[in-house]
């Protein structure tokens, strides 16, 4: 198609996630298999790389913006812009889940934290009793120093007995078919269920060498 020498790309193809050290494919494919294609960076400088008409340019590219160019009957055409992101990732997904406490009373705030180590980009999903009502507030902290970790915090304000159950986080790798999930059981009681009744005054006096018992009834 001389009016459209580059095959249109979908938006998802224009954002390319690459792990450190791995080759990437910049998918600017041509409708003419014999077209001469040039790859340029954001400074409009040519970048040397292997070109496959069915895939695009293949190579180890620095992070940044890239565009492909070709000539048709003396007219220059440009492809869509492609953005390469270099991410830090491991083949495994080390994940830890932590709850400040696992037993709550009605009205308290539940806080559960899920931490993903050594990976910069993951897809993390929460499953918990109040998810259908979107009761939870989710916050992400991306920590780089002293080591890479993603800290996802799930907060459930004004907890009720219905919030009792399993709180589970599932992390999926950005570029590999790897996933890891962890869960913790949370219990919410309608009210406090321990009653203490001390059988002594707030202030007690004891004679020297006297033995005195302090009794507390626990219900």
Q: Which domains does the chain have, with CATH numbers?
A: 11-87 (2.60.40.10), 95-189 (2.60.40.10)
Mean pLDDT of 84-108: 90
Token representation of residue 101: 């406490």
Mean pLDDT of 192-214: 91
What mean pLDDT value characterizes the chain?
Answer: 91
Kindly give the pairing relationship between strand 179-189 and strand 103-105.
parallel
**Alpha-carbon 216 to chain mean position:** 49
Whole-number percent of the chain with pLDDT over 70: 100
pLDDT in tens, 40-68: 999 999 999 999 988 999 999 999 999 99
Confidence of residue 106 (pLDDT cuts 50, 70, 90): very high
Confidence of residue 173 (pLDDT cuts 50, 70, 90): confident
Collapse the DSSP code of 138 into the 3-class scheme (helix H, G, I; strand E, B; otherwise coil) and give the result. Answer: strand
Whole-number percent of the chain with pLDDT over 90: 68
pLDDT of 22? 86
CB atoms within 10 A of CB 205: 7
pLDDT of 169? 96
Kindly give the pairing relationship between strand 196-198 and strand 179-189.
unpaired
Token representation of residue 25: 């494919």
pLDDT of 211? 94
pLDDT of 176 > 80? The answer is no
Mean pLDDT of 96-116: 96
Q: Which one is predicted more confidently, 111 or 12?
A: 111
What is the pTM for the complete model shown? 0.62
E-strand ranges in the chain read 15-19, 24-26, 37-41, 50-52, 56-59, 64-72, 75-78, 82-87, 95-99, 103-105, 110-117, 122-127, 137-143, 149-156, 165-173, 179-189, 196-198, 216-218
61 within 8 A of 49, measured Cβ to Cβ: yes
Kindly give the pairing relationship between strand 122-127 and strand 165-173.
antiparallel
Distance CA 128, CA 40 (A): 48
pLDDT of 9? 85
pLDDT of 163 > 90? The answer is yes
Distance CA 192, CA 181 (A): 32
pLDDT of 12? 87
pLDDT of 185? 97
pLDDT of 151 > 80? The answer is yes
pLDDT of 168 > 90? The answer is yes
The values of phi and psi at residue 14, to 5°, are -85, -10
């Amino acid at each position: 198609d001389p009016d459209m020498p580059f095959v249109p790309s979908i938006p998802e193809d224009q954002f390319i996630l690459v792990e450190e050290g791995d080759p990437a494919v910049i998918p600017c494919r041509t409708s003419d298999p014999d077209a001469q294609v040039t790859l340029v960076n954001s400074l409009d400088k040519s970048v040397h790389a292997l070109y496959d008409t069915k895939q695009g340019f293949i190579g180890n590219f620095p992070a940044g913006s890239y565009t492909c160019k070709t000539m048709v009957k003396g007219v220059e055409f440009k492809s869509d812009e492609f953005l390469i992101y270099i991410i830090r990732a491991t083949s495994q997904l080390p994940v830890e889940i932590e709850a400040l406490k696992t037993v709550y009373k009605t009205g308290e705030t539940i806080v559960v934290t899920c931490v993903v180590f050594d990976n910069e980009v993951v897809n993390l999903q929460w499953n918990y009793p109040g998810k259908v009502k979107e009761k939870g507030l989710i916050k992400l902290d991306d920590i780089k120093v002293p080591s890479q970790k993603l800290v996802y915090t799930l907060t459930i304000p004004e907890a009720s007995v219905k919030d009792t159950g399993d709180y589970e986080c599932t992390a999926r790798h950005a570029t590999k078919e790897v996933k890891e999930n962890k869960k913790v059981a949370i219990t919410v009681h309608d009210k406090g269920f321990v009653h203490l009744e001390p059988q002594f005054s707030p202030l007690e006096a004891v004679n020297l060498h006297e033995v005195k018992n302090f009794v507390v009834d626990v219900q």
